[in-house]
């Protein structure tokens, strides 16, 4: 049975008077982000991905740990300097790729922002780009892991 998602105007843009709707899921992941890593000192990751620009304000870093036997992502940590939509999107992404024993790295490479948006119950159209940050950082982290893994396998 489909779960009804309550939407209510949370923010009204001062420029155009248009309201933005945030689902309860988005609000939950913003106020209670999952898998966030505030202090990465001593954290050992198998892959790290960084996207964005500090000049424009949106930055994202994702750390992953991978089970080398199964090639499943067992842990995904992240940190962002971004808006509520970026925080909620990346929080949800981190849940999606680690739930049920972890997503295969190969499958995680095909994760799209649209998949994240479905799980969030949507984002305002003008905030779509926020769901892209985490997904791009994840892809970079997987590439980083694969590069390291290939070097180890050659030894």
Between helix 113-120 and helix 24-31 the angle, nearest 10°, is: 100
Give the tens place of pLDDT for each residue, 82-135: 888 889 999 999 999 999 999 999 999 999 999 999 999 988 878 777 778 889
Task: Report all structural domains of the chain as residue ranges with CATH numbers, in order of start.
Answer: 24-154 (3.90.1010.10)
Identify the residue with better confidence: 131 or 70: 70
**Which of 136, 138, 36 is closest to 87 using CA atoms?**
36
Asked about 130 being catalytic, the answer comes back as yes
Which listed residue (14, 56, 76, 83) is catalytic?
56
For 9-29, letters b (16+ CB in 10 Å) and e give eeeeeeeeeeebbbbebbbbb
pTM above 0.85, yes or no: no
* Residue 34 per-residue DSSP state: S
Active site residue 14: no
Mean pLDDT of 22-48: 93
Residue 28, helix vs strand vs coil = helix
CA 90 to chain centroid, in Å, comes to: 2
């Amino acid at each position: 049975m489909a779960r009804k998602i309550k939407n209510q105007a949370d923010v009204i843009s001062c420029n155009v008077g248009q309201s933005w709707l945030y689902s309860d899921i988005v609000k939950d992941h913003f106020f209670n982000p999952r898998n966030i890593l505030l202090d990465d000192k001593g954290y050992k990751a198998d892959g790290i991905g960084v996207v964005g620009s500090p000049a424009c304000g949106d930055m994202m870093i994702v750390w992953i740990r991978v089970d080398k036997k199964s090639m499943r992502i067992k842990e995904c940590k992240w940190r962002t300097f971004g808006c509520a939509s970026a925080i909620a999107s990346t929080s949800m992404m981190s849940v999606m790729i680690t739930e049920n024993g972890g997503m295969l790295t190969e499958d995680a490479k095909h994760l799209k922002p649209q998949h994240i948006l479905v799980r969030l119950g949507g984002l305002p159209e003008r905030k779509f780009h926020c769901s892209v940050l985490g997904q791009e950082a994840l892809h970079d982290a997987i590439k980083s892991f694969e590069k390291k893994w290939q070097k180890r396998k050659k030894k």
